[in-house]
Every structure is written in C-alpha cells, then in structure tokens.
Amino acid sequence: MPLEFFVKYSGCGCGPSLEPVPDYRQAKAEVVYKNDRNAWIVLGVDRSSAVTSGYGGACHTQCAAIDLVVGRMGTYARECDEEGEPVYANPDFKIDAARMYVSQKANIDEYFELVEGTVGDSIAQSAIALKADDIRLVARSGIKLVTGTDTRDSQGERQAAINGIDLIAGNTDEDLQPLVKGCNLVNGLTELVEQIEDLREILYSFVKYQRSFNDAALSHTHISPFQPTASKQLDTSPPFMMMARGVKSIIQETAQTELSIISHQTNLATWQQNYLSTVADSYICSAYNNTN
C-alpha cells in the first residue's frame, strides 16, 4: 500500500486508525452510536452479555439502560476470526477496556463480579457503575459519598435500613472492618491519657507515703533502760516515732491511695463504655462505613 495510505490512517491528530474494531451484536431494542476508534454509546435495555442476559433478556419492563464503552474486547479486539468471518462482540464487563453503565434495573454486583461486603448485593435495583484501569474523581470544591437519602427506592419499595459505604481493596471482604470516627477517637484517647496521668499521680502519692514510712523505719532508734549482756540481747519497747508514722502512712494509703485507685477503676470503665461500646453515641467505630 502507498505511504499516503498509512499516513492517512496513522491516527495522528485524532484521525482515523487501522486498529481493529469488532462489530457489535446489536439487540432490536438498542440504538447504537459508534466511531471507527472503538468508542460506543448503546441506548437499550439491561444487558450484561448476550441478548438473553440481564433483565432485558428476561423480558422485564422498566429496565432501560445506557452503556458507554471504549475499547470493546480490550486487548483481544479483532474484526475477523481465523476463518475470516466477522467478529460480533457482546458487552463484556470483564475485558472491555472502560465502561460507564447506567441501568434502570440490574444485578450490578453480579455483572461486575463484586464481593458482597457489608452493604450486600444489589438485586433488581437501579444502578450506575464505572470500570476502567484507573478512575479519578476530581472536584474543585468537595466530594460527597451519600447513602440513605430517600425512603423508597426506584422500584417503589420502602428502604428499611441505611446502607453504608464499603471501601474494598482487592475485591475481598474477608477482613472488612468499621472505619474509625476520627473526632471520637481523638477525644477517647485524650481522656485515656488523662486517666493514665491520674494513675501516675496516684502511684506517685503512694510512693511518697511509703517513702516517709521507710525513712522512719530506716532511721529508728530504740531506748532501753537496761544494758545488754554479752551473752544475751534484751528486748526493747517499740519505736514510738516509727509507730506514729506507720499509722499515718496506713491512714494515707487507705483514705487516699486506695480510694483513688477505686475511683480510677470506675473512670476507666466509664471511658470504655463511652468509646468502645457499640451503643454509645461516641463509639469510635463507624456504624455504616467499612474498609479493609
């Protein structure tokens, strides 16, 4: 072929290209828009593969769908098979390069082979799904992921519960855990630090009281009215100063140290109830949102 042909179909400047583009096995209810570079917009009914798949293939009503696809068949794209026959491709949610799928009624998790997570599988619900090698959501202001906004779904069924948000890596939900609420965690850890500091003060007070008693015990003297003999040591009366300080130390340990320890135990139990109990308003784990 002449050089001009290859230049014309080189794809430069967003021009035409010689890349293989499979044909599409179009259903009767579908309107298809395409170009020569394997980009497609299909207006039809819910369908995940052949014309017998999905709710469109099952003869359901109210299952309209829009399928935006680029790179149909992905790296396996071809126009003819080994016998030279044209290749007709069905939607393939596994290997098509990139897709945005909008359906009025779909089993969207089944189509994309997604794990159930804590949110559960979407069955016969309206759905929007994006799939590509990489997806970026970019906002100049903010991004909100919001669930549970309406009391009824698109089928008119009442929503009995609020479903949260699962952040799943690797399409496995084996170790899916609740996300931590940052403010509650900071408040909880701050209070825990204060409780530990109180425990330190309690222990420090005990050490001071015990030191006072120990000082008295180490420096005590005995006054005896008799002189001991070389063969026998006479018993003497207890040291009254050490006894007084010992009694004072016991009173301090009982009235202050032991009561402080009991109070500390109560405070720590209260902290545990406030931040580690699932029924508490300040529970550090999210009630709805999870990740692994």
Overall pTM > 0.85 = no
User: What local confidence, expressed as pLDDT, does residue 35 receive?
Assistant: 93
In a domain, 231, yes or no: no
In a domain, 175, yes or no: no
In a domain, 228, yes or no: no
In a domain, 94, yes or no: yes
- Assess whether 44 and 150 both reside in one domain: yes
- Assess whether 277 and 198 both reside in one domain: yes
DSSP letter for each residue of 187-214: HHHHHHHHHHHHHHHHHHHHHHHHHHHH
- Assess whether 69 and 41 both reside in one domain: yes
* Domain carrying residue 193: 182-221+237-291
C-alpha dist (Å) from residue 106 to 12, 47, 98, 184: 39, 8, 19, 38
Query: Would you write out the chain's pLDDT as a tens digit for each of its 292 residues?
Result: 566 656 666 677 777 777 889 999 999 999 999 999 999 999 999 999 999 999 999 999 999 999 999 999 999 999 999 899 999 999 999 999 999 999 999 999 999 999 999 899 999 999 999 999 999 999 999 888 888 888 888 888 888 888 888 989 889 888 888 888 888 888 888 888 788 888 878 877 876 777 676 666 655 555 555 555 555 555 555 555 555 666 666 666 666 677 777 788 788 888 888 888 888 888 888 877 777 5
Domain boundary among 133, 163, 193: 163
User: What local confidence, expressed as pLDDT, does residue 292 receive?
Assistant: 58
- Assess whether 58 and 111 both reside in one domain: yes
- Assess whether 243 and 186 both reside in one domain: yes
- Assess whether 119 and 212 both reside in one domain: no
In a domain, 257, yes or no: yes
- Assess whether 8 and 41 both reside in one domain: yes
- Assess whether 155 and 186 both reside in one domain: no
User: What local confidence, expressed as pLDDT, does residue 222 receive?
Assistant: 58
Q: How many domains are there within the chain? A: 2
Residues 6+ apart with CB under 8 A from 256: 205, 209
- Assess whether 201 and 133 both reside in one domain: no
User: What local confidence, expressed as pLDDT, does residue 233 receive?
Assistant: 54
Angle subtended at Cα 116 by Cα 110 and Cα 122, rounded to the nearest 5 degrees: 55
User: What local confidence, expressed as pLDDT, does residue 267 receive?
Assistant: 87
- Assess whether 158 and 194 both reside in one domain: no
User: What local confidence, expressed as pLDDT, does residue 114 receive?
Assistant: 96
In a domain, 121, yes or no: yes
- Assess whether 148 and 246 both reside in one domain: no
Closest CA to 292 of 205, 173, 206: 173
In a domain, 131, yes or no: yes
- Assess whether 248 and 158 both reside in one domain: no
Q: Is residue 89 within 8 Å of 23, Cβ to Cβ?
A: yes
Instruction: Write phi, then psi, for 167 (nearest 5 degrees).
Output: -100, 105
In a domain, 285, yes or no: yes
